[in-house]
Amino acid sequence: MKIAVLSRNPKLYSTKRLVEAIEQRGHESVIIDHLKCIIELEKKSPKIFYNGEHLENIDAIIPRIGASVTFYGTAVVRQFEMMKVFSAVESQALVRSRDKLRSLQILSRAGVGLPKTTFADSSKYADHIVKSVGGAPLIIKLLEGTQGLGVVMAETNNAANSVMEAFDGLNARVIAQQFIKEAGGADIRVFVVDGVVVGAMKRQGKEGEFRSNLHRGGSASIVELSDQEELTAIKATKAMGLGVAGVDMLQSSNGPLVLEVNSSPGLEGIENATKKDIAKEIIKYVERNVD
């Protein structure tokens, strides 16, 4: 079987580990920079050209699409799907996961626990927004932010109003979320493959930092999930239609609360924390879905 990893950087840990796992399972691997793909469309004959050559005989793809290139990356994934190539992450699920507001709406409808969240078109409704999430402190997030960027904790109601006005002046859309104090600056990343939890870690923000992202200096350790946490992660992944996902959640007095379902979760933190071969689990999932 020939499996392509869609990645712009072959040196990234996740890309290298997927290639290793593909080859260890006896398959052929290829890395494709999705931004260098050319899409051709005609009646019942979708094609992709890469470095001037027609891409053929690829059995499956594993998308590693960065948030900044979601539009074109998703178009490439969709083109592969039109060519009857299996994708470990479906294009439509990828699009849904990158729209934070839409994701939360989907999770809410599915009955997944969430921090109380409010969205409005203008900062003139700031007083209502702040009150609706329980007042200060509260979290304000850019809808397009990633890896903890564009996430602000407003300590007071006045600070929240000022932050929302500033973002409004930049024509940047934000959501406001309830601050979960008992989480203590930590969250849980649960890795789900094909509807099964294959690994979980607790990420703790560095001292004085409410964001737990490893990219921002947080630390990771293995964690044993409660039954409710495991079921929540699986339910959230299913609601988003993802075959591979990283579910971020907070431990609260009201049970697990999902922050985000990531469609291109990194492997380095979870593999180092759990000592599990997560890349192999992804390849086994691909094998089960390709004739």
The reply to whether domains 117-179 and 182-289 share a CATH topology is: no
- Report pLDDT digits (tens) over 122-154: 888 999 999 999 999 999 998 875 555 788 999
Architecture field, domain 2-96 = 3-Layer(aba) Sandwich (3.40)
Options 3.30.70.20, 3.30.920.30, 3.30.70.2170, 3.30.1490.20; CATH for 117-179 is: 3.30.1490.20
Question: Is beta strand 2-6 parallel, antiparallel or unpaired with respect to 60-63?
Answer: parallel
Q: Across the 291 residues of the chain, what is the mean pLDDT of every consecutive 10-residue run?
A: 97 98 98 97 93 94 94 97 97 94 96 95 90 93 71 92 90 91 91 98 74 62 95 98 97 95 95 96 98 71
- Report pLDDT digits (tens) over 19-46: 999 999 999 999 999 999 999 999 889 9
CA 229, CA 226: separation in Å to the nearest integer? 5
How is residue 35 written in tokens? 């931004």
CA 99, CA 105: separation in Å to the nearest integer? 10
Does residue 198 contact residue 278 with C-beta atoms inside 8 Å? yes
Domain ranges of the chain: 2-96, 117-179, 182-289
Q: Which residue shows structure tokens 């703790």?
A: 204
Which residues neighbour 82 within 8 Å (Cβ) at sequence distance 6 or greater? Answer: 46
**pTM reported for the whole predicted model:** 0.90
Average pLDDT, the chain: 92
Architecture field, domain 182-289 = 2-Layer Sandwich (3.30)
What SS3 class is residue 49? strand
